[in-house]
Homo-oligomer: A and B are copies of this chain.
Amino acid sequence: MTHPSIPVAVLGASGYTGGELIRLLQMHPRFRIAHAAAHSRAGSRLQEALPGVRGEAGGLILSPLEAPLPAEVELVFTALPHGTAAIRVKEMLAAGRKVVDLSADFRYRNEEVYKQAYELEHPCPELLSEAVFGLSEHARQAVSEARLVANPGCYPTSTLLPLLPLLKADVVDESRIIVDSKSGASGAGRGMKPELLYCELNEGVRAYGLPRHRHASEMEAGADLFCGRRIDVHFVPHILPMTRGMLTTLHLCGRNPGDWHRILREAYRNEAFVRILPEGSLPSTSFVRGSNRCDIALEVTGEDRAVVISCLDNLVKGAAGQALQNANIMFGLEETLALPQTAIWP
């Protein structure tokens, strides 16, 4: 017996994140792409905007963002710039649709924090309390009941997955959390910026976003939300000469770091997408490329210290993959549908 398909829409389908959603949705046995829209390439076929896309989806015509959606659409993925996203999200909810929003617009419960981080009045603050911050492994129940899921940012996902179990176990010094992240270039999006030209990015590494990147407050809000902890995150992101992949190095202090590996193992024992590496092993972002996995390793480096390292694909577990994982949960489907565990390696 086959189940009827669930029609979904992707708004912002021509960017890297939107494109990754399209790729994953094509492998999905239950969701069907009924509508794809974009700002800059409306009118062209998906395979022109996203040169990797083929098959049925490749022939879809990109609608303008403001075009009405087919009535049948039950679920909308919004992969739009912050500010713009919120307005669309509100419309979609009003039309009775579920939404997974990949922008930052609904990641904060506190309107003021959003305003500070994004220097923008929130367009629809009334929805903030309803939105569920969809760090899937930690918000499963809430996501399953949500109309609106705010999909976490890539840096917060790569930080909170290793950090939350340690915060919950109350073993980490909350005032001395140092997060040093390394990201591939696709995290910076498809916009035309000189520093994203091949020759300017290749064969070089640089930090950016200092003194305070917006994602630091998202990490802090996540710790508050899931653990009721007020943490103080010192966060430095770096951009590397590679397309996909994010490695986050957490330099942590606290009590009994010799126990932390066990804490992490137990926290994620039954998870398909979070893997705690055996002691002595270290991950690489190349081991998770194209997959929805987050690989985590821990090394005790002193009596009261450890280094925790996480690796994920910023476009998958850090964006489109987690969005689809959330959508699977929202619709009561098997959580792993269309989400590879095995990476494209090499």
Residues of A within 8 A of B (CB): 16, 19, 22-23, 26-27, 50-55, 57-58, 176, 178, 180, 182, 184-186, 190, 192, 194, 196-208, 210-212, 234, 236, 238, 240-245, 247, 249, 251, 272, 275, 282-291, 293, 297, 299-302, 305, 307, 309, 311, 340-346
Contacts and interface: CB of A to CB of B under 8 A. Distances in A.
B346 A186 contact: yes
B197 A342 contact: no
Nearest to A180: B180
Nearest to A178: B251
Contact of A204 (B55, B289, B291, B309): B289
A207 B249 contact: yes
Task: List 8 tightest A-B contacts by C-beta distance, closest first.
Answer: A204-B286, A52-B345, A52-B343, A206-B284, A199-B346, A210-B299, A54-B341, A198-B201
A19 B204 CA distance: 18
A346 B178 CA distance: 30
B199 A16 contact: yes
Given A52-B287, A243-B203, A284-B206, A346 B16 contact: yes
Contacts of A212: 301
A87 B55 CA distance: 40
A299 B53 CA distance: 23
A343 B53 CA distance: 6
Interface centre among A282, A284, A340 (most CB of B within 10 A): A284
Given A197-B192, A287-B51, A243 B207 contact: no
A51 B340 contact: no
Given A203-B244, A207-B249, 19 more contacts: A27-B340, A50-B345, A52-B289, A53-B343, A53-B345, A54-B291, A58-B342, A178-B178, A180-B249, A198-B243, A199-B346, A203-B285, A204-B242, A206-B311, A207-B297, A211-B300, A236-B307, A240-B242, A251-B251
Contact of A251 (B234, B291, B299, B311): B234
Which of A27, A178, A290, A346 is the most central at the interface, judged by chain B CB atoms within 10 Å of its CB?
Answer: A346
B27 A200 contact: no
Contacts of A275: 54
17 contacts: A16-B346, A26-B342, A50-B345, A51-B284, A52-B289, A52-B291, A55-B272, A58-B341, A180-B251, A182-B205, A192-B192, A198-B198, A204-B286, A206-B284, A210-B301, A211-B299, A234-B305
Nearest to A340: B27
